[in-house]
Structures are given as C-alpha cells and as structure tokens.
Amino acid sequence: MSEQVAAAGPASAWPELREIAVVPGDPVRVTASAVVRPAGNPYLEAHFPGRTILPGVFVLEAVRHAVRAAAGTGPELLELTSARFTRPVREHDRIELEVLVSREESGRLKVSASCGLAAGPRTATVEAVFGRRA
C-alpha cells in the first residue's frame, strides 16, 4: 500500500510523509519518507535561523502517523519510553522512517521506530506505547 499522509498540526508543520508502505505481520512494519522543506514554515525557519534543523517533536509526529497507518486512526501516544536524537536533520534532507508495531495482550501497541537520512546515518530512535485513553 502506498499513499501520502499530511500531518495534522499547526501550519502543517511536519513535512508530508510519502511512499508509506505497510507490511502486515507481527510486528507490522511501516516505512515512509519525507523531505524537510522549511520555506514558509515558521516552526522550521525559527529553529536555528540560518541553519535550519528539524525539531525532534516532528520525528515523534511522523511516528504517530506511521502507527495510525498500521492500526487506524484511534491509537494515541500513551508513553514515550525512549527518544534519542543522534544527529541533526537539516533543511532539504530526505529522511527515511521505519516503524515496527506489535500488539500487546492488553491491546496496547508497542512501537519501535528508527529515523535516518536517505544517505545512510541514523538520526533518531523512538520506543513508545500507543493505545486508547480510558
């Protein structure tokens, strides 16, 4: 399956995810990519002016959209177990996202995500739990 998903958020802050692929299994594997384009985006232009760096919160937003591609629109972030940002993502970088989603017995979704530059190096890893709020 391939589609485009525009992130919900102020001024469409997150770059548009492209080439989303969902591979069923246990865990479900979701891959997607995006290009960081700061022009006209106040969130990106203001984050280190003159040397734009993608704020880490946008990586978390991309993970949320990948989880929803795998499990539908209901799951919300319940717990951020770990988030490590190991290298900056700059304007015009193409990033690749891989998200593994497994369902726990409780019905919650355990998520492990990796983000990297298309040219190779990993830029972030995320471990989280998604589910429905009580």
- 29, 47, 103, 108: the catalytic one is 47
Peptide bond into 27 cis (omega under 30): yes
CB 99 within 8 A of CB 113: yes
Q: Which helix (H) or strand (E) holds 40?
A: none
Query: Is 47 assigned a catalytic role?
Result: yes
Active site residues: 47
